[in-house]
Amino acid sequence: MLHQIAEEKISRNITLVFGARSKKDIFYAEELETLRQRIPQMVAIFTLSRPQEEDRWEGERGRVTDILEKIIVDGGSKEVYLCGNPAMVESCVELLVKKGVSEERIFYDKFG
């Protein structure tokens, strides 16, 4: 979807929250940075749930749900796309609904 948004120059506010256990688990980091540069209205937030000492991580810490809890005040106008393991997706859906995001506006792909 991000590639299509970049190619078609679609003007849309986007917040990407990428969660991983440690820094080595973040994949496509360079590609995401390239897309972020091509999509000026995109913000990328990376969070680690179990950063390792060698990561020297200065970014967000915690799970994706922790970040969503902080950044979504009123989900009424939000449209959300999730992908990840089933437990993470289900936790996010539950939180998003509590934040006011309509279930019809939450799209997801669960993978193991």
The burial of 13, by beta-carbon neighbours within 10 Å (0-12 exposed, 13-18 middle, 19 or more buried), is given as exposed
Is pLDDT at 33 greater than 80 in this prediction? yes
Residues 15 and 60 in one domain: yes
Q: Percentage of the chain with pLDDT > 70?
A: 100
Tell me how many domains the chain contains: 2
Q: Which domain holds residue 82?
A: 74-112
Concatenated DSSP letters for 10-53? ----EEEEEEESSGGG--SHHHHHHHHHH-TTEEEEEEESS--G
Per-residue pLDDT, 59: 96
Residues 33 and 55 in one domain: yes
* CATH number of 38's domain: 3.40.50.80
What is the average per-residue pLDDT within 18-39? Answer: 96
What is the average per-residue pLDDT within 46-53? Answer: 97
> Are 85 and 112 spatial neighbours (Cβ–Cβ below 8 Å)?
yes
Per-residue pLDDT, 94: 98
> Are 69 and 94 spatial neighbours (Cβ–Cβ below 8 Å)?
no
Convert the pLDDT of each residue in 57-99 to its tens digit: 999 999 999 999 999 999 999 999 999 999 999 999 999 999 9
Residues 53 and 88 in one domain: no
What is the average per-residue pLDDT within 39-56? Answer: 96
Residues 7 and 62 in one domain: yes
> Are 37 and 31 spatial neighbours (Cβ–Cβ below 8 Å)?
no
At 112, is the pLDDT very low, low, confident or very high (cuts 50, 70, 90)?
A: confident
